[in-house]
Amino acid sequence: MSKCAAIQMASSPSISSNLLEAEKLIAEAAHAGAKLVALPENFALMGDNESDKVKVKEPEGTGPIQSFLASVAKKYAVWVVGGTIPIAGDAPNKVRAACLVFNDQGKQVARYDKIHLFDVSVPGTNEVYRESDSIEPGSDLQVFDTPFGRLGLAVCYDLRFPEFFRKMSEQGAEIVLVPSAFTAETGAAHWELLIRARAIENLCYIIAPDQGGFHLNGRKTFGHSMIVDPWGGVLAIQKSGSGFVMADIDRDRLEKVRSAFPVLNHRRFI
C-alpha cells in the first residue's frame, strides 16, 4: 500500500512563482507520507495568451522546468508526475504538452504527450479554446511499471475518450494519472462523473490533480482534485483553493475487486 497525492494549484503567468508554490506543496505532501505526487496540467505556466507557452518551451532533457522536477523528486525522495510542460516539437510555433514522470532519484522514467486537444466552444459561455493552435498532439500511450503499480498517463480532455482508457487497461494499467485544467463550466457538469466512470469501467485507481481557482488571465478552473478507487469511490477531494489530497493506493484491494467482479474478462466487443 502506498500513499499518493494530487496537488491543486491556480497557476499564474509567472513560472518562478508557480515553481515556488509547487515545491511548497510537494514538500508538504512528502512530509505527510506521499510517495508519489502529481501536479496539475500547466502547473508551471498559465499564460496571458496560449502562445506564451511557445516562448518558454524547452528541449527534451534540459531547461528550468525539467530541472525543477528532477530536483524536487530527488530532494523529497518522491516520484513526481509533472502535470504538463511545454516541450519543443516539430513545428516552431507549437509545443508538445508533455507529462513527464521522475522517480525518487530524480531520473525521468516516462513521457506522455497529450493526444486529445481541447478545440471547443464551451456551451452557455463565451469561452472558446483552440489548443491545436499552439500544441502538437501526441500519438503514443504511456503505461509503465512503478513501485505503486502499473501506471498510465492521460491529460484533461483525454477523460472524454473512454476508448483511450480502455487501451491503457489492455496494457495492464492499474492506476491512471490525469493532470487537468478543467474549466469551471465543464468541470461542474462533468468532472467527477468522468473520473468515476473511467475508474469504474477499467477497475482502476484514478489520481486527478486539477487547476482550481481564478487565474490572472481571466480564466476560472474547477478544482475538485480527487483520487478515486476501482469501485468508483471518491477517496479524497480538494474542492477549492491550493493544496493537495492524499490516499492509499491498495493493490490488494484492486486485485480483490477485479477478481470478484471480473468485468474486464467479460467484454465481447474488442
Strand 149-153 to 175-177 pairing: parallel
Among 35, 57, 94, 114, which one carries the catalytic annotation?
114
pLDDT in tens, 65-74: 999 999 999 9
pLDDT in tens, 139-153: 999 999 999 999 999
Domains of the chain, by residue range, sit at: 2-265
Q: What is the DSSP letter of 229?
A: -
Among 53, 58, 136, 156, which one carries the catalytic annotation?
156
pLDDT in tens, 214-234: 998 888 999 999 999 999 999
Catalytic: 4?
no
Q: Is the distance from CB of 258 to CB of 230 less than 8 angstroms?
A: yes
Q: Is the distance from CB of 153 to CB of 142 less than 8 angstroms?
A: yes
Among 3, 4, 35, 41, which one carries the catalytic annotation?
41
Q: Is the distance from CB of 137 to CB of 164 less than 8 angstroms?
A: no
What is the Cα–Cα distance from 82 to 107, expressed in whole angstroms?
12
Catalytic: 41?
yes
Cα-based angle 20, 53, 218 (whole degrees, multiple of 5): 75
Does the pTM surpass 0.75? The reply is yes
Per CATH, domain 2-265 is 3.60.110.10: yes
